[in-house]
Structure 1
Amino acid sequence: MDQPAIHPLTMDGRDPAALRGDPISGDRYTSREFMQQEWDHLWTRIWHVAGRTAELEEPGDYVVHDFRHESVICIRQDDGSIKAFYNACGHRGMRLTDGSAFAEAFTCPYHGWKWGKDGMLQYAQDPHDFPQGNPCGKLKLKELRCAIWGGFVWYTMDDTAPDLLDYLAPMPELYKNYPMDTGVRVFWMKINLNTNWKFATDNFSESYHTRTAHPQVPPWIDQDVDTARHEMYPAGHGRTVQPMRPSLSDRLPDGVPHPFDHILRQWDIDPDSYPDYETKAMQGWLDLKAAKRRLWRERGYLHYEHMDDEQITDSPHTVIFPNVTISFLPDNILFFRTEPHADDPGKCTFDLWCMAFPVAGQTEVESIMAGPQPFSEADMLWRDFDNGQGVPEIEGQIVYQDMMLAEGMQRGMHSRGYGDAYLSAQETRVRYFHEVLNDYLAGRR
């Protein structure tokens, strides 16, 4: 088996010695003042995901990304590039458009000014009546920096921010073998949650909660603490890499069908051929790698072509600072994102995108977070979580279980009984996330 290469930027995500020890206080989740500091020093300086390149196939295709009180348009140009503009008319600030669609030009609904795909003003009523001269061909929508990675369209409001690939480092190098831009978004949901946006980054920065919150996971993703790799990186990103095999310390009762057996059979491996549970878990995992290496082409799993041994059987759960999490699974990419409410620090939106790689003859996929789905681009569902009642499509799924915990955590942050987190070594990345956030707020980054 190939040994995974450790990137030179990697820091040990289980070593608290890498931390300053900054406290994680409750007011970070509840204070409007803290929320404003995040806007001033974090959100206006990082790279945001506006959408996917698959949504912008033809010139004039555009997506709109609303973030707090700001709104940005990303639109495909005639030369194939993508430009980003603030969604505000250069005349008197009227918002130009909502949602995602196609436009040769944007016409302001207030005074009819018309802006081209390139942002230039094409038409203004009574152009002779402006003391400064005809604004057409002179004025342009305010443009933002825009870039692409992984099939995602990114933008930043900061003219001095590092280039996108530098900001994301080392993720582009770590995941260069995944044909991310070929993924089809088979499930797409945006959920209103009554919790601060940081709950998700905290939650996805550790797997210590998994045995308690997600008892269905250990039978097929190894949760034994010493088998996982916990990594963090200078820009604030991090990941946990776990083998997709049964945990030796988490056994299902006799007679209960084992999910790993089903996975083995999918690749012509007889789970009953192993003499005991330990051998099935450990040797079966190695045999699964070998079977995928041998059969991927004839089975139509063409996305395996450049993946290494770890990538075709394991689960790298990756946090991109500050608010994006991507699970790079062998056949799926799961995208999670939380964004703050416009004004209330106790609310956020949670985006769930389930993407699947194309496999020959496949018409339906089993999404880990959303169950069986047609293999086709999904429309967005917008839901209120409503204590789980508003999202029946994902009831019982792993991410549903996380969200069921979120509002209780938010209430706990208001309690005088909470002072600071008392963290295990495997939760080191939680405090590291908050220390990088503190660096932004203090002007150290």
Structure 2
Amino acid sequence: MEIRRVVVTGLGALTPIGNTKDEYWEGLKNGKSGAASITYFDTEKFKTKFACEVKNFNVTDFIDRKEARKMDRFTQYAMVASDEAIADANLDLDKINKLRVGVIWGAGIGGLETFQDEVLNFAAGDGTPRFNPFFIPKMIADIAPGNISIKNGFMGPNYTTVSACASSANAMIDALNYIRLGHCDVVVTGGSEAAVTIAGMGGFNAMHALSTRNESPETASRPFDATRDGFVLGEGAGAIILEEYEHAKARGAKIYAEVVGGGLSSDAYHMTAPHPDGIGVVAVMKNCLENAGLKPEDVDHINTHGTSTPLGDVAELKAIKEVFGDHAKNININSTKSMTGHLLGAAGAIEAIASIMAMEHNLVPPTINHQVVDENIDPELNLTLNKAQERNVKVAMSNTFGFGGHNACVLFKKLD
């Protein structure tokens, strides 16, 4: 069977540091922090009082009020980002074969706020089961791609991948394979999440997973810094249009990059902690390189999972050294979570967009907030600290790992 080439022809982003792909890129290259005090609810009794919220977002600027009320925020975010990506790809919906256009989306949780609010409302009542008739369709994780397909008439494969923080990277890899194998010409892929809620913050605080640097939220996400104390919760969406190369070329589409490989693995170790030796992470990067037909020395840039947790950052960098050997010190490594926070199921999508735009602009965004050297991290590694660095990025890798030991890795390459 012929393996078809797959390219990126459209991007859309709704993030804590920019509400479009271009605003997002401006935030990335300038080292902007998206962290600030939470505005959605009263945090007086919470250990962590800040997050990376989407800002200056009015859903009715994009979606009719009546329709928006039928959607959880994670679906609203998905609709806005996918609309931007479809427009960016200049897809003519009257000319493409919609039977061969799929929507494969990622969400680690789905409609958490909807579930939370319905339960709180029930608990505050007299025991009579009064629930919103849209409770279930607002909550389910697969409703985001469902709504994207309904709006645009896309009738190809349609589903959500759920693998915690690896969800949207999983979605991209599935989309890549559907096009490679000839089942689709175009797939709208990416992910969205809206977990900055009472339940989301409370749950992650109970796990001691979040930073509690309440006195300085904008510096709390500090990957690779010796004083890091947990991740910062983020929200938003990233959308990517993947397209078969000849299909894109025939319609004169702008091509951002080629998607040349995807890898998957499992730590098979612990519910939430990474394997201390990074065995699963080593495997996923090797799998991805093999899938792409590339050598370790071909890679110029790695956007790490880099959540700013004491264990995870060190384990990932050890794995990178094992896979890339001496070449590791020649790679521009970064963590854009230092700016956006951790978007959970949407992390892979917005970080893939960051990698693609780094190739387009020959500029690697910084890992901000680094102040104190961690003696457990090899000082020869270039972690792109505090300031963007110019680099001709020909091949970029994006890593995402999720609770449950789920690992996903995607490789992008400048089109030959």
* TM beyond 0.5: no
Higher strand share: 1
**With structure 2 as the length reference, what TM-score do the two structures score?**
0.25
| Structure with greater proportional helix content | 2
